[in-house]
């Protein structure tokens, strides 16, 4: 396990948490008088740059997309939580299910990752089937078990793009927050309400059986407390 120092053992070089530490100086947003600090460890860059776009005034947001499995992501967040650099940070793990019939024991892995993260005192914003459900909920309510392809097709139609191709780029990910904020046909407050309703209707089920469901709204509610007025 790494100690709370900047030194790294040679055997740690390829670990997810170590790669995060070796990146360029993380994104920082906010003022000198910060009220809260968030470390958001994400599965991909779609989520990373969405959270970096939040115009917070009295908080710091550091987000990383590490491209790892659910379990590896939680391990990374756990190791980072032990470092002095992130002392006092509220640490969130952001990942989704992305159902894949070719992955053995995927449900068990997803459930175990969430359970382990919570036991370690980490926050979890999980989505089933995909993070994009959060975007869709800005436009409409939804119910019934859905696959991420349904979300991709809907967003592609709303934004007049090939979401699978364009929507997954860094450039587009950086624009999504403002795109949703500036669209008169959507509402973040309604997205929060819809997501909360979905969660409340299924929170008696195991995590992998909660579909459609996203707890990203819980992180959004926290970040919104520190937005620029």
Kindly indicate the confidence band of residue 16, based on its pLDDT and cuts at 50, 70 and 90: low
Q: With contact defined as beta carbons under 8 Å apart, do 110 and 97 qualify?
A: yes
How far is CA 129 from each of CA 94, 126, 142, 146, 188, rounded to the nearest angstrom?
13, 9, 13, 7, 20
Residue 7 lies in a domain: no
Taking residues 146-174, what's their average pLDDT? 93
Domain that holds residue 185: 14-224
Q: What is the pLDDT of residues 163-183, one digit of tens each?
A: 999 998 999 999 999 999 999
Query: pTM for the whole thing?
Result: 0.84
Residue 33 lies in a domain: yes
DSSP secondary structure string for all residues of 1-38: ---SSS---GGGTTSHHHHHHTSSSPP--S-SS-SEEE
Taking residues 150-169, what's their average pLDDT? 94
Give the pLDDT confidence score for residue 14 in this predicted structure: 54
Give the pLDDT confidence score for residue 31 in this predicted structure: 39
Residue 6 lies in a domain: no
In this structure, the number of other CB atoms found within 10 A of the CB of residue 221 comes to: 12
Residue 119 lies in a domain: yes
Give the pLDDT confidence score for residue 28 in this predicted structure: 44
Taking residues 22-46, what's their average pLDDT? 67
Residue 54 lies in a domain: yes
For the cut 50, the answer to whether the pLDDT of residue 126 exceeds it is yes
Kindly indicate the confidence band of residue 22, based on its pLDDT and cuts at 50, 70 and 90: very low
b/e 102-129 (16+ beta carbons within 10 angstroms → b): eeeebeebbbbbbebbeeeebbbbbbbb
Least confident of 12-16, 83-87, 128-132: 12-16
Residue 2 lies in a domain: no
Residue 3 lies in a domain: no
Give the pLDDT confidence score for residue 143 in this predicted structure: 84
Give the pLDDT confidence score for residue 165 in this predicted structure: 92
Going by C-beta distance under 8 Å and a sequence separation of 6 or more, which residues neighbour residue 5? 84
Residue 4 lies in a domain: no
Q: How many domains does the chain have?
A: 1
Taking residues 52-81, what's their average pLDDT? 94
Least confident of 132-141, 143-152, 192-201: 143-152
Give the pLDDT confidence score for residue 147 in this predicted structure: 85
């Amino acid at each position: 396990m790494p100690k709370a120092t900047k030194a790294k053992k040679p055997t740690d070089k390829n670990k997810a948490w170590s790669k995060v530490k070796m990146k360029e100086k993380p994104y920082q947003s906010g003022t000198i008088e910060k009220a809260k600090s968030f470390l958001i460890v994400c599965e991909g860059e779609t989520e990373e740059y969405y959270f970096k776009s939040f115009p917070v005034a009295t908080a710091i947001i550091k987000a990383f997309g590490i491209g790892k499995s659910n379990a590896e992501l939680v391990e990374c967040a756990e190791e980072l939580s032990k470092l002095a650099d992130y002392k006092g940070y509220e640490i969130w793990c952001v990942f989704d299910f992305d159902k894949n019939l070719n992955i053995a024991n995927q449900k068990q892995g997803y459930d175990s990752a969430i359970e382990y993260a919570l036991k370690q005192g980490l926050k979890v914003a999980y989505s089933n089937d995909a993070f994009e459900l959060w975007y869709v909920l800005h436009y409409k309510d939804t119910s019934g078990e859905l696959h991420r392809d349904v979300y991709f097709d809907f967003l592609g139609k709303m934004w007049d793009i090939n979401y699978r191709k364009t929507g997954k780029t860094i450039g587009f990910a950086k624009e999504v927050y403002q795109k949703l904020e500036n669209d008169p046909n959507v509402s973040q407050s309604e997205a929060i309400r819809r997501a909360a309703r979905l969660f409340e209707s299924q929170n008696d089920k195991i995590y992998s059986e909660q579909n459609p469901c996203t707890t990203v709204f819980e992180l959004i509610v926290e970040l919104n407390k520190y937005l620029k007025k």
